[in-house]
Amino acid sequence: MKVARVFLIAVVAVGIGVVGATAADKAAEPQSETAAAYILKGQELYADKKLEECREAFQKAAELEPNNLTAKMGQFAILAELGRPDEGLAVLDKWIEAKPDDPQRWGASFTPQPMQNVPS
């Protein structure tokens, strides 16, 4: 469980703020009611430092697609940044514990690879 947390924290730290939009690209609400639209909106709000609104966008994305890893990582990252890391970890723990051995929960493109050239 600890390894999963560290992995997810590292991925979130790299990914949450990467996508930003210019002011001309931003709209008040997502154009469609999809998780992807709310994730994009959350990233835009994060870039604007509107953290509480960002949290709401990622929460809405997670409600629309409960198995969406990006939505869950966004929830975690924002809650941590808002000073509520325990709530963020609870979101991830609940998601992981639901089906810890289901590779689909980790994304269709995630395939564990053996480590190469690691000293024993």
User: What structural domains and CATH numbers belong to the chain?
Assistant: 2-18+32-103 (1.25.40.10)
- Tell me the average pLDDT across 95-106: 70
Average predicted confidence (pLDDT) for the chain: 74
Q: Is the pTM here over 0.85, yes or no?
A: no
Q: Are 5 and 89 in contact (CB under 8 A)?
A: yes
- Tell me the average pLDDT across 32-41: 92
| C-alpha–C-alpha distance, residues 16 and 87, integer Å | 17
Which of the four pLDDT bands, split at 50, 70 and 90, describes residue 76?
very high
Least confident of 3-12, 53-62, 92-101: 3-12
- Tell me the average pLDDT across 50-67: 94
Give the list of residues 6+ apart from residue 42 with CB closer than 8 angstroms, or none.
Answer: 54, 55, 57, 58, 61, 74, 78
